[in-house]
Structure 1
Amino acid sequence: MDLKSIPIFLLAGLCEIGGGYLIWLWLRADKPWWFALVGAIILAFYGVVATWQSADFARVYATYGGIFIVLSIIWAMIFDDFTPDRYDILGGIIALIGVCIIYYAPRS
């Protein structure tokens, strides 16, 4: 298992969710235009961070999907006073198990 991939996945997730959240705030919470600009820059950086992974595109982006599910729930808990229910937690666990199989399963 390539453990160096984990911090890259986390950084990419923070960029994708953080950038998207800033744009969300600009459009939905009437924040100033520069929220959108900063969000767009962070989202562009996310696109670069994703290329730092060693696996191919399909596995990398599939794995990001599952990790983003969990990071989105955690983000909402921290920034939006969201309380996940048991189905949110179960779904996040299932997503993480699935992406670990996709990304980290030994292949010949």
Structure 2
Amino acid sequence: MTVLRSLLLFVLAAVAEIGGAWLIWQGWREHRGLWWIAGGVVALGAYGFVASLQPDPNFGRILAAYGGVFVAGSLAWGMVVDKFRPDRWDIIGAVICLVGVAVIMYAPRTHP
């Protein structure tokens, strides 16, 4: 149950962070306005809170593992929202990152 909760929190954090950055991009680069930017700032703030809900108490471990989730999530966001077509190297890189997430977060440890 702890692993499932952790995975769901990683997905929620990715949606908040990637979505927030995308909203700011849209507001600034695509000239959609300050409301888009403000929404992005709120989403990025929410990301920080969601990350703090992870069951592991180690900030560095959580953020290191989340980096891999961010890489894969960014490619997925691009595919769904912007119709980006990743090549095989993008996919291989994302898989490597997700394997890193699994090792960092869920490998058995002998100490608390």
Q: TM-score range by the shorter chain?
A: over 0.9
More deviation in 1-10 or 22-31?
1-10
Partner of 1:104: 106
Higher relative contact order (CA 8 A, sep 6+): 1
TM-score, length-scaled by structure 1:
0.96
1:52-81 Cα offsets, whole Å, 9 max, x none, are: 001111111011100011110010011111
Query: 1:37, CA displacement in angstroms?
Result: 0.4
Partner of 1:38: 39
| Count of aligned pairs between the two proteins | 108
Coordinate RMSD, CA, aligned: 0.9
Please list every run of 5 or more consecutive structure 1 residues that lacks an aligned counterpart in the other structure.
Answer: none
Superposed counterparts of 1:48-63, under 5 Å: 48-55=49-56, 56-63=58-65
Displacement of 1:2: 2.2
Moved over 3 A (4+): none
Question: Taking structure 2 as the reference length, what is the TM-score of the superposition?
Answer: 0.93
What residue identity is the alignment partner of 2:65? T
Residue segments in structure 2 that go unaligned for 5+ positions in a row = none
